[in-house]
Amino acid sequence: MEAGMSRAGRVAVLGLAAALVAAPAPAASDAEVKSRVEERLAKAGLAQNADIRVSVEDGVVRLTGVAVRYADFRDAERLARKEASRVVNTVRVVPEKPRPDKAIKADAESAVLRWERYGPFDAVGVEVKGGVVRLTGWVDEPWKRDEIEDRVARVDGTRDVLADLHVQGFSSSDVALRSEIFTRIYSDPMFERYTANPLDPPVRVFVQRGRVTLVGRVSSKVEQAVVGHIARGTLAFAVNNLVQVEGEKAREEDRKKDPNDS
């Protein structure tokens, strides 16, 4: 008889060990999840600017209470998601010092436009109503959407951020077309003066599946027409020229105002 454990015995032991390793860890109880989330919120120091309560039922985390800053609202949800796949966040954001929409918009635009990663192929518009910031436009990298949201969320007075940001096309043809249109515009004698500040061009180019959108502001109707003509002179499937002439938007807003407003 072979000394020690037989080959069959060793195989059985190894099989049992493998099964134990592969077996899923038991799901944490609701009480354990609640405790972990509360611990994360406490470590993040959210109690300084927020009164957030945590409850858990069937593995679903529910956050309630009040936060002074929208950034704390976002951080609380992000931390809770580290402990549960489903989080219901009904925390109300009530700024300690409400600010005019105009002031919030100015700071939100600054948070976006002064970001060092905001490049010539990004175009983000900011509108604010009742403290709710709406972001529209596009970025050239997916991760920029979250980063821009986070930056705007930290603007004082912000109650919510609604982001409708698209990502530039990644196909080689879209990238090539975007680069071609951009190069053609800024090598045209009419736009050469803008090359001094390449990170903040007046016209920005978005390409998705061969379809082109142009946005920005130029100084004349002629320039507006020329950028559209340049884009249409490529292999683009379609061109949507949304470039505005400086001063047009202000005049349009004045026309929309109620004549009784003063």
Question: What are 115's two structure tokens?
Answer: 């970001």
Instruction: Classify the C-alpha dihedral 106-112-118-123 as positive or negative.
Output: negative
Residue 191, C-beta contacts closer than 8 angstroms, at least 6 positions apart: 185, 202, 203, 223, 227
What are residue 87's phi and psi, to 5 degrees?
A: -135, 130
Residue 132: alpha-carbon gap to chain centroid? 15
Phi first, then psi: give them for residue 70, nearest 5 degrees.
Answer: -65, -30
Model-level pTM?
A: 0.75
Task: Give, for all 262 residues of the chain, the pLDDT tens digit.
Answer: 445 556 655 555 556 555 555 555 566 799 999 999 999 999 999 888 889 999 999 999 999 999 999 999 999 999 999 999 899 999 999 998 889 999 999 999 999 999 999 998 999 999 999 999 999 999 999 999 999 999 999 999 999 999 999 999 999 999 999 999 999 999 999 998 887 676 788 999 999 999 999 999 999 999 999 999 999 999 999 999 999 998 765 555 555 554 544 3
All structural domains of the chain, each given as residue ranges with its CATH number in brackets, are 30-93 (3.30.1340.30), 101-167 (3.30.1340.30), 172-249 (3.30.1340.30)
